[in-house]
Every structure is written in C-alpha cells, then in structure tokens.
Structure 1
C-alpha cells in the first residue's frame, strides 16, 4: 500500500515504500497451523456427540482464535507501511482507524541502523532516525534490506540539507 497521491505535496515523488519484515508473521503462522491441527483433531474426536453442538463449539472457538491470533496480526502487518519520498518519511498504520507520522527530511539530524544476529541472517534491521524535535530517536523496527533503505534516506537527507543551506 503505497502513499496515496492525495497525501503528497506538489513535486513530491515516492522513492520507496516498505513494511516490516515478514518474520513478524512467524508466530501468527504457528498459531494458524496449531489451531487448524488441534481444532480439526478435536472436532473429529467430538464426532456427533450432543447433536453436533460440541463439534460446532470447537469449530467456533477455532475460528475466533485464528481470527484473533493470525488474521488480525496479518492485517496489521499489511496496513503498516513506511514511505520515503523526496521530501519526507511517512509512517502509516491502522486497520480501521488510520494514523500516521511524517518527518520532513530537512529536520532529520542523524540516520543509523542496527542489526543483531537474527536480523543479519534474515536480511532486516532497525533504522533509527533522530530529528530536530526529539531526544529519543524514531525506531523503525524490522525493515527489510535496512542498509539500502538507510542509504536512500541518508542520500535524501544530505540533499535536503544542501538545498536548505543554499537558500540561506
């Protein structure tokens, strides 16, 4: 889900859009598989006892657990994006209620990244952005190909700062 054209300023272009690494969906996948296995096993064991009410109760509980433990986290992951444009960094998230955060590139003071061993194996990391208004940096966790994203942000920040120095 890229940044909508209606939210962009004149002359602004999207450089890249990303979301967190797919590794955040590992636990929801395990929940889906475990509930599917346990639910089908228990529904088969219940058989036709009690006019099938037990079987339907097991199926209903399994559906609720799958929706809560797998579908909802997937929708959260799908709707949470980071868009880098030629003028700003935009974070958007939310399924029913959308919220966002915008950091103009000209206000960014420092861009760094961190990768632990798991991140190095999976090819992701945490991008840390310090801007002029905060002491604690904004941490974008589990960004795929974090070095490439870091390089793109840094290049655009340097260009934004060069442009603001020339206008003074």
Structure 2
C-alpha cells in the first residue's frame, strides 16, 4: 500500500517501494544458504578447522551476494510522488536521486511481466516523456493500476498548466 510521509517537503503525497515479491528469492537464499552451510560444516572432520572456516566463509559470501545485497537494494529504492514531480531514490550505500517533473511526462503506461505480477497487482510503470527522451521505467511496483490512475491525474494537471503557459503572451493594455 502507499504510505504517507512527512519528509523535508510537505507536498509529498505518497511514497512507494518496489513490491515485496522481490524479497522472496533473498529470503529463500537466506534459508538455503544457512541450511547448506550448516550441513557442510557439520560434515567436515573435527580436526580440520580450516575447512570449516572455508565453508563458513563461502556461506557468508553467498549470503551477502544473494540475500543481503538484494535486500539492501530493495530497502534503498523509494519513489516519492508530489503534486508536480516524481522523485526516484535508489541505492543503499550510495544514493542516486532523479526528479521527474510531471510537466515533462506525456503518458503513464503499465506493463505486467508475468501472470504472477497480475495476480499480485504488481507491474512496471513507464513514464513516457513529452520530448524524444527515453522513457523512465519503475519496475515491480505494488498496486500498479491504482498508482497509474493517480499518476495520470497528476500528469493531466501538469499538462493543463503547461498549456496555459505555452500560448502567446497577453497583449498589454493601452
């Protein structure tokens, strides 16, 4: 679900993170790695501590790569929606922030990658820009249909404001 936030900006409407389904594989990797590492460490002879240390170190490396890193990537990804812009924050250790004004967006599209995505209500939102730039894709978001409708309303408001300012200036009174 969307969560409201009271960040530095008071005009943030809601914040969205990627769908929880991205954490299923890291959790399965956590349990599998712990089980396999424990089993292999128990099989090593008691007098060979260096083999046990190597098994535990390899298990830790697999755990960091396949469980901790994806969890940190999920935790560090956040999409903040304000009335006039979308802010994309990515990265847990290093931070990348991208701000997309809705006045530069022409359309908001939904893409479901699988039947499971449709069942869970997840999908990719694609923001199509007004000019010839590449579209911005926000992968695996929850409640994607509701999010698309809310973003379309904000994009239409920005387009209406853009049309008001595009025309020729009003003539000066005599």
TM range (shorter): 0.7 to 0.9
Aligned to 2:76: 79
Q: Aligned-residue CA RMSD in angstroms?
A: 2.0
Q: 1:125–1:109: structure 2 CA closer, same or farther, 3 Å change rule?
A: same
Structure having the higher helix fraction is: 1
TM-score normalised to structure 1 length: 0.87
Aligned 8 A contact 1:3 1:83 in 2: no
TM-score normalised to structure 2 length: 0.84
Aligned to 2:93: 96
Unaligned runs of 5+ in 2: 168-174
User: Of 60, 64, 67, which residue of structure 1 is paired with 2:61?
Assistant: 64
Q: 1:23–1:89: structure 2 CA closer, same or farther, 3 Å change rule?
A: same
Aligned to 1:43: 41
State which structure, 1 or 2, has the greater radius of gyration over its C-alpha atoms.
Answer: 2
User: How far did residue 136 of structure 1 move?
Assistant: 3.5
1:131 pairs with 2:150: no
The aligned length equals: 162
Aligned 8 A contact 2:110 2:148 in 1: yes
Aligned 8 A contact 2:121 2:145 in 1: no
For residues 105-124 of structure 1, the aligned pairs below 5 Å read 105-115=102-112, 116-124=114-122
Q: 1:111–1:16: structure 2 CA closer, same or farther, 3 Å change rule?
A: same
